[in-house]
Amino acid sequence: MYFHGTSKINDKGHLEIGGCDTSDLAAEFGTPLYIVDEDLVRKRARQYVEAFRASGLKFQVAYASKAFCVMAMCAIVEEEDMSLDVVSDGELYTALQAGFPAGRIHFHGNNKTPDEINMALDANIGCYVVDNFVELHLLNALAAEKGKSVNVLLRVTPGVEAHTHDYISTGQQDSKFGFDLGNGAAYRAIQEGLQLKNLKLLGVHSHIGSQIFEVEGFRMAVDKVSEFAVQIKSELGLTFEVINLGGGFGIRYTSEDAPLQVEEYVKAITDAIKSNFSQAGYPLPEIWVEPGRSVVGDAGTTLYTVGTSKDIPGVRKYIAVDGGMTDNPRPALYESKYEAVLANRANEAVQETVSVAGKCCESGDMLIWDLELPEVNIGDLLAVFCTGAYNYAMASNYNRIRRPAVVFVKDGQADLAVRRESFNDIVGNDIIPARLKKEAVL
């Protein structure tokens, strides 16, 4: 079994994370439980910052908060000298409530509403990544109403298809995101943007997909973007100050995954930038990137309690846990794969192969197929690794299941970052119309 960060088996045979025994965490906070290894989050963040410092280029590393956005995470991102990407008013509000510096916030999204844009304008955020012509003119008009000039990157689709799942591949021509380079939309967006007095065009943004294990796609994107930059400077007189290459850097979920080291991704990007722009006689731009999953993904573990089981002779044995697609929809969405151990019996020998089912009323609510474990008992604790990204962020209340708590662990201390939802939280926004109310029964 491959352990991430501070995870290890302690002398009790229990899984330990951040110096905390997971059996103790289950007893104190209940299950399902998201556990975040704070030291590993900080290590990943620093790897990006240090790799870019070594390149000698100006840079910003912006954490993509869509991966996992809670106030405690925003606080860590600020302490690690990163910027922050948001894609909704909810993520923006979370960041602002956490005290994150607004000038280091970048606002993404393909359908920012007027209310969201006004909220960001009032907060004086640092940059808007504009996704389409409607937004380009809406942002300018709303900024003009407030007498403000705002920094803008235009999101472009470079025509590069990352080798990843179709749902998380975004750089190809046929995408809901961005201005296409190939059909001239990006060029027209620059032309129009230059005429809008309340926008300052800093450069362009390109994101080719997620969970990428090679650098060739990033090199190709740099080739396309740098060629475009040279054309724009020559024909329209605009020199890009910033090139944002997005995120998408892969992590190891299972032994089938072979991600590169952070330094390898960064070196490939910065070397390509230096080569392409220097050869063109173009001033070296500031480079921005947006890691999300690769900062927090392998730092997260979800802890479950095993409940029922079902053995179908000659077919398979199912075990069911007290969570499922409500706290981790990724297997149902993307056929994502995970590794797991029995956290309370982590050093025992494998004795059976089981498939891990969730408790939701859906046949597709399966977390792991064909997992090798010791003989599983009711009440055992199952720890599923690498659930830090897009798990809590995509959690739901399907079947009116309450979303789990989140704890940050470090040096033997466990701190609650998100409380477990209560039954009152579940019905807190419900209203029974007066015409449906019955007289109270005394």
Q: Which residues are catalytic?
A: 361
Q: Which residues contact 119 (CB under 8 A, 6 or more apart)?
A: 89, 92, 93
Residues 241, 247: Cα–Cα separation, whole Å? 19
Contact 73, 40 (CB under 8 A): no
Buried b (16+ CB within 10 A) or exposed e, 348-383: eeeeeebbbbbbbeeeebbbbeebebbebeeebbbb
| Cα-to-chain-centroid distance, residue 194 | 32
User: Hey, CA dihedral for 297, 15, 382, 31, is it positive or negative?
Assistant: negative
Q: Which of 265, 252, 171, 176 is nearest to 211 (CA)?
A: 252
User: DSSP 3-state assignment of 127?
Assistant: strand
Q: What are the residues whose beta carbons fall under 8 Å from the beta carbon of 325, sequence distance 6 or more? A: 331, 332, 358, 360, 362, 364, 365, 367, 396, 398
Query: Alpha-carbon distance 222 to 129, whole Å?
Result: 18
Pair 236, 215: CB distance under 8 Å? no
